[in-house]
Structure 1
């Protein structure tokens, strides 16, 4: 059997795989391609200069042992670095690194066709001289932990945020992914973590950016042929906060570049904070390798606040604005606006404005008028409890029967319909839907939704169930 570059490299990989963590193997060795074997030198292609530097820094010993085992003491390893050249020359360059001893790396032969050997990194925020000039964090100092009030709906996310702010990159909450519906405080909490880190660790580089802006910067970098500068810029950030990461859905180029940036930051103990309108398990058109990384740390859900928390939020808002309102009016607003903190604060601002502009006293009557307008102009979010009640009534059973473990066909179908409508009409995660409808897991909810879709297209009677319930829930 003839010895080829591929067969030698496969044997090396078998040895390496047995001696390092599976995740490290997947990240740092699976992307490598064996190119050629000549004069006892194995040439391998790696995706970038950074990739090569990481291998040399962390895996040079195991590479040396694996290669020596295959080719003997005179073995050499040649890296072919597939790299976009910002300065016009598209050819890859090679760096020949003898693997016989580590010190040889210092005297490596390098043939890099660049006009400028040390190109200055280009900052997407147009701040010249990255190394010497402070990078603007893009944080809003008004979003702080002090005005992010704790309640049952946000306790886990807030506590995790405080832990990350105290020890960025040093907790198991990396990445920290905060998810939940519109107006529940995801952006506020992300900023609060960043602001707290800047206070505690002024020397650290913190950057907040929306996924939309990140995508636009990436597109611009490709147009201007400086993608590597874009990547290098993000690799020097200590705490990276990406808001609305679900915006990366379907954008394969941006996902790919973010994947490499994420790997670099995570491997170097930097902190990544993400926000999303849904849990990783519910994200569509996001690459699996990226979703798996989102799950490495902690995914914390922000839910709609309970009545006591809503009252506290309103009182805190009024205190900060130096306004006093009677308790019964505060409680009336909190009782009737339930799903969204942004709407809650908007209603109280509107109430104060109406009173001030029209020189009216703030009364329950005025509060009713303001709240009615808000509720009317806001699409009502149906609760999971309400959906279960409507479905149970429709099939003439009680909610306990719907949630039971029984496998009777008509009860199973009713339960599946409740899950289907909970996914359709609420912003709850699949895991949250499952736990509320009979303590099932997210996979059961996913299966239920697929079953309803299939039966709707093949079973006339079942399609009528779906149509009837849709009308009842859309009223």
Structure 2
């Protein structure tokens, strides 16, 4: 008879794509000896696959365990050659209690692995300070920003520091906190719930915006917050927006979110994206040359979690086909991904994006102005319009008020020549191209 782990993976097969199953899930091995009712341990063949499954599928796997066993365990994905997870790695307050929704701290989420740039430096410095003086400075620490910008990484980096010092850490999301609350409420075991959440050294709670509209849960979280802070225990909260912009949450909670320090993370600039990719390659032992790294940096959106998926895809195709990852190979493997992004691109969209990025007006780009900045922007807009839309050169000449299609042809050759001879310019064009594609997804 199949083990419960194999049953869960078989059930997962019906909920994800065949490609994802064959490429990732099929390579997992359930470790029955190290697993417990509140902890499911799987082995993966390498760090890249382990990180990818942990990010994309751990919640689904945990949920399927709950359906089959009635208990929602933490899911640990460890590299086969490494030691399986041990109890001191588990981010829970009471060993006999299962985690609230089942989350382990990701051991790769450390300050050493976090790439610092202008977009996240303040949040990084703030989290580092908290890790050195928890409960003393910046309590609570509230980090906000878009999806995939590193909020959870910084939060868990603090958690990993404190775990290494023997402190008790709980990492949870609002959804997991709610599930745990309801379970204890229904079982009339609220004392155990309060002990778990109010007697830890560090509470990490992700996606606080989902507390919106949940009045009973807000009441419980308020008292949890008060109990921890009164004991000088550290609280770190993340959200997709500033506390004042979260609707449906009591004013007393909003004011407490701002008691310590509010730090934002902005989308990374190109240079930071490049450094993040280099770091991911180093961690996951993937070899990419400079051209491929630069290309990947230009096609990813603001969500840097995309990097894991792209590296995994490139690495998988490279191993299956037995070839090195060159720039031509990368473009070919990722062309469908880029084509899907670009299906709704229009000239007007390109104009708006170029105008915003180069600090000129759309009307100026279509004017007869010979100002060097405007000419520069016009050439780029023409090049992108020809590259990303199905419009012909005569159509573009008419749109931009040019004499005929030969003027468009001349502009295309000029931009192509610059891209060939100036790598920084080429990267800038590719980044603009991706930003246009990103807008179509919003």
TM-score (norm 1): 0.51
For 2:353, which of 386, 389, 392 is the aligned residue?
386
Cα deviation for residue 294 of structure 1 reads 0.7
How many Å apart are 1:373 and its aligned residue? 3.1
Unaligned runs of 5+ in 2: 1-91, 366-438
TM-superposed deviation, 1:376:
4.4
For these two proteins, the number of residue pairs brought into alignment is 268
The Cα shift of 1:348 comes to 2.3
> How far, CA to CA, are the matches of 2:340 and 2:230 in structure 1?
47
Q: CA deviation at 1:125?
A: 7.8
Q: Is the 8 A contact 1:179 1:186 kept in 2?
A: yes
What's 1:145 paired with? 111
1:310 aligns with 2:273: yes
Contact 1:343–1:374 (CA<8 Å) still a contact in 2? no
> Runs in 1 of length 4+ with deviation above 4 angstroms?
376-383, 387-394
Where do 1:300-449 residues align within 5 Å? 300-377=263-340, 386=353, 389=356
Q: Distance in 2 between matches of 1:182 and 1:244?
A: 10
Task: State the partner residue of 1:287.
Answer: 250
Distance 1:247 1:355 in 2: 40
The alpha-carbon distance between structure 1 residues 346 and 258, as it changes in their structure 2 partners (threshold 3 A), is same
Note the C-alpha offset of 1:137: 8.4
What secondary structure does 2:305 align onto? helix
> Aligned to 1:325, what secondary structure does the other structure show?
coil
State the match for 1:188 in structure 2.
Answer: 153
Q: Which has the higher helix share?
A: 2
- Per-residue CA distance 1:155-197 (angstroms, 9 max, x = gap): 11111111001110011x1111111111112112111110012
Match of 2:227 among 257, 260, 264: 264
Matched-pair contact (CA < 8 Å) for 1:305–1:338 = no
Q: Secondary structure at the match of 1:139?
A: coil
Is this contact kept in 1: 2:149–2:303, CA < 8 A?
Answer: yes
Q: Deviations over 1:238-288 (max 9, x none)?
A: 111011111211111111000011011112211000111221122121111
Structure 1 counterpart of 2:14: none
Contact 1:329–1:364 under 8 Å retained in 2: yes
SS of the residue corresponding to residue 165 of structure 1 reads helix
How has the CA–CA distance of structure 1 residues 220 and 125 changed in structure 2, closer, same or farther, with 3 Å as cutoff? Answer: farther
Q: For 1:284 and 1:264, how far apart are their aligned partners in 2? A: 24
Residues 67-82 of structure 1: pairs in structure 2 closer than 5 A: none
**Residues 1:233 and 1:275: Cα distance change in structure 2 (over 3 Å):** same
- Paired with 1:315 and 1:252, the residues of 2 have a C-alpha distance of 44
Mapping of residues 92-131 of structure 1, within 5 Å: 127-128=95-96
Aligned pair partner of 1:198 in 132, 143, 163: 163
Secondary structure of the residue that 1:341 maps to in structure 2?
coil
Contact 1:143 1:192 in 2 (8 A): yes
Runs of 5+ in structure 1 lacking a partner?
1-123, 131-135, 399-472
Whether the 8 Å CA contact 2:206–2:239 is kept in 1: the answer is yes
1:336, distance to aligned residue in structure 2 (A): 2.3
- Per-residue Cα deviation, 1:320-345 (whole angstroms, up to 9, x for no partner): 22332221111111122241211123
DSSP-derived class of the 1:328 partner: helix
Question: Residues 377 and 169 from structure 1, CA distance in 2 versus in 1: closer, same or farther, beyond 3 angstroms?
Answer: farther
Task: Tell me how far apart the structure 2 counterparts of residues 235 and 333 of structure 1 sit (CA, whole Å).
Answer: 44
Q: Distance in 1 between matches of 2:152 and 2:135?
A: 20
Q: TM-score, normalised by structure 2?
A: 0.55
On the 8 A contact 2:93/2:199 being kept in 1, the answer is: no
- The Cα offsets for residues 48-100 of structure 1, whole Å up to 9 and x where unpaired, read as xxxxxxxxxxxxxxxxxxxxxxxxxxxxxxxxxxxxxxxxxxxxxxxxxxxxx
Is residue 341–residue 440 contact of structure 2 (8 Å, CA) maintained in 1?
Answer: no
Larger radius of gyration: 1
How many Å apart are 1:377 and its aligned residue? 4.9
Give CA-to-partner distance per residue, 1:103-126, whole Å, 9 cap, x none: xxxxxxxxxxxxxxxxxxxxx987
Structure 1 residues 296 and 125: alpha-carbon distance in aligned structure 2, compared to 1, 3 A threshold: closer
